Amino acid sequence: MRPPRRSAARRTTVLSREAVLLTVPAVLAALLGAAAPAGSAGTAKPGAPGAGDAYFPLSGNGGYDVNHYDLTLRYDVASRHLDGKAVLTARATQDLSRFDLDLKGLSVTGVTVDGSAARFTRDGQELVVTPRHAPRKGRDFRVTVTYRGTPKPVTDPDGSPDGWIPTDDGAFVANQPQGAMTWFPSNSHPTDKATYDFTVTVPKGYTAVANGVLRGQSTAHGLTTFRWHAADPMAAYLATATVGTFQTESFTTRDGVKVYNAVDAREAKKAAPVLKKLPSVLEWESKLFGPYPFRAAGSIVDHAPSVGYALETQTRPVYSSAPDMDTLVHESAHQWFGDSVSLTSWKDIWLNEGFASYAEWLYNEQHGGDSAQKTFDALYARPAKDGLWAYPPGDPGSGKNIFGDPVYERGAMALHELRRAVGDKTFLRILRAWADAHRAGHGTTAQFTRLAQRESGKDVGPLLHTWLYAKGKPARA
């Protein structure tokens, strides 16, 4: 994500630790899904209502892992009514008497598990499903949920809207961190990645843009249906199905990546010179970070002035207005850092935002702008009471702080100090090794630190610890 540049006056953030709701043993227990042994149906237990995230305890669920989402959506732009059918293919990680999906608002009209009608109840953001036959540990099962209603975005702890956000000509759809539950039932935590198919029907004249490759579109009876296929594992918060009146273009890059751009006419003139650079930015980032992790790319440039941010929706970032170069570089870098290499907990968000921010510094340095050192020095010159030092990037304290300056800017500063300590060549080798070792998977801060030590042969642990975890403004070595 890239929030708009804020003034220094608004950067103050209060140090907060109250949201560390789960203890480490509780987190482990939730991740292990209570560790029910495979056995008779009598051992089946309910899956946990959350994935064990300290900042968002109800995000995600325990007891199963989704492999694929097949989403069929129909959105009426004028009435803002959504009809949905979600077919989830999942594998049970315990004998499962009951399980939750994350879904907020909307009316559920039916749930089946492996074709049999299942009982269900609603409890806040949890859709609680009791199947007729308990899925057994290690077995695949299929859940179908039909639902409808008017999606309403959620308000994040930092006050920004997230999820299915209506616009004057459709909907801007960006889910970080919680918004997936506003438009489809899911296991909404980055620990569970899955492939996706989207079949989205909208009134003729509108375009529905999701992740991955456009498999086809057809119009009949005043409605157009778009079929998208996302073949690489993706966290639910990176899914989109943005609807609008868009100018579209598609082409294939020299590296064989299929690009699809959708641009609101009101943003087209300003967006054009920036979007033109997308292939060269992806090529430049591929040289630095290793091969582009996906088969598809592109941009969705919407006109959504009330939103005011951009998100690295997988393969195809979504922008609420025409992006500048920094923002394009930032969201593109997230395809490696955040999308391909995913978080295991929101607390580690600097692994996404510090890296994407540092990509901006590197891009400017190599394209006639300020050196990364100059950018670092300007930030470091800020006084100790500045909001930049309000909390450490590796431990933001609560979900309210995950998109704050310490995560983005001080997170990037941590990488810059690592670069100074190991040298340019080794530093880039570390970034590539990180993207490669955790490609299409997950990573933690502890794993990154170990990898940096191993690749550099230097004890960079203390330096990273200072920049990521020490309270207040770090002293320079």
Residues that bind Zn ion (CB under 5 A): 1-2, 353, 356
Q: Which is nearer to Zn ion, 352 or 449 (CB)?
A: 352
Q: What is the per-residue DSSP string for 4-51?
A: PP--GGG-------TT--S-HHHHHHHHTGGGPPS-SGGG-EEPPSS-
Q: What span, in angstroms and rounded, lies between the C-alpha atoms of 60 and 51?
A: 5
d(CA 448, CA 411): 13
> In the complex, what is the shortest distance from the CB of residue 154 to Zn ion, in angstroms, rounded to a whole number?
19
**Within its chain, how far is the Cα of 437 from the centroid?**
19
Residues ≥6 apart with Cβ < 8 Å to 339: 234, 235, 238, 293, 294, 312, 314, 315
Please say which residue, 82 or 356, places its beta carbon nearer to Zn ion: 356
**Which residue, 58 or 414, is less far from Zn ion as judged by CB?**
414
Shortest reach from residue 301's CB to Zn ion, in Å: 17
Closest to Zn ion by CB, 334 vs 416, is 334
Q: Which is nearer to Zn ion, 198 or 363 (CB)?
A: 363
Q: Which is nearer to Zn ion, 213 or 356 (CB)?
A: 356
Residue in this structure with the two tokens 């004249």, named with its chain if needed: 205
Q: Shortest distance, CB of residue 437 to Zn ion, whole angstroms?
A: 21
CB of 349 to Zn ion, least distance (A): 9
Cβ distance 195 to 233 under 8 Å? yes
Q: Are 323 and 310 within 8 A, CB to CB?
A: yes
Min dist CB 87 to Zn ion, Å, is 31
**Please, which residue, 102 or 339, has the CB nearer to Zn ion?**
339
Q: Which is nearer to Zn ion, 64 or 237 (CB)?
A: 237
Closest separation in Å from C-beta 403 to Zn ion: 8
Minimum Å gap between C-beta 402 and Zn ion is: 10
CB closer to Zn ion out of 120 and 292: 292
Q: Say which residues have a Cβ less than 8 Å from residue 228's Cβ, sequence separation at least 6.
A: 196, 197, 198, 200, 209, 210, 211, 212, 213, 214, 215, 241
Tokens 């591929």 belong to 286
Closest CA to 370 of 414, 416, 306: 416
The answer to whether 97 and 46 are in contact (CB under 8 A) is: yes
- Residue 108, Cα to own-chain centre: how many angstroms? 25
Quick one: 2 or 104, whose CB is closer to Zn ion?
2
> Nearest CA to 41 among 89, 98, 91, 88?
98
- Name beta bridge partners: 142: 89
Q: How far is the C-alpha of 219 from the C-alpha of 242, rounded, in Å?
A: 18
How far CA 77 is from CA of 113, 206, 221, in Å, comes to 31, 9, 16
Using the minimum distance from each CB to Zn ion, give the nearer residue, 302 or 353: 353
* In the complex, least distance from residue 238 CB atom to Zn ion, rounded to whole angstroms: 12
In the bound state with Zn ion, the residue whose beta carbon lies nearer, of 227 and 400, is 400
In the complex, the smallest distance separating the C-beta of residue 302 from Zn ion, rounded to whole angstroms, is 17
Peptide bond into 177 cis (omega under 30): yes
CB of 327 to Zn ion, least distance (A): 9
Shortest reach from residue 348's CB to Zn ion, in Å = 14
DSSP string, 289-309: H-S-S-SEEEEEE---TTT--
CA distance 352 to 194: 19
Angle of the 461-469 helix axis to the 411-422 helix axis, nearest 10? 160
CB of residue 164 to Zn ion, shortest distance in Å: 20
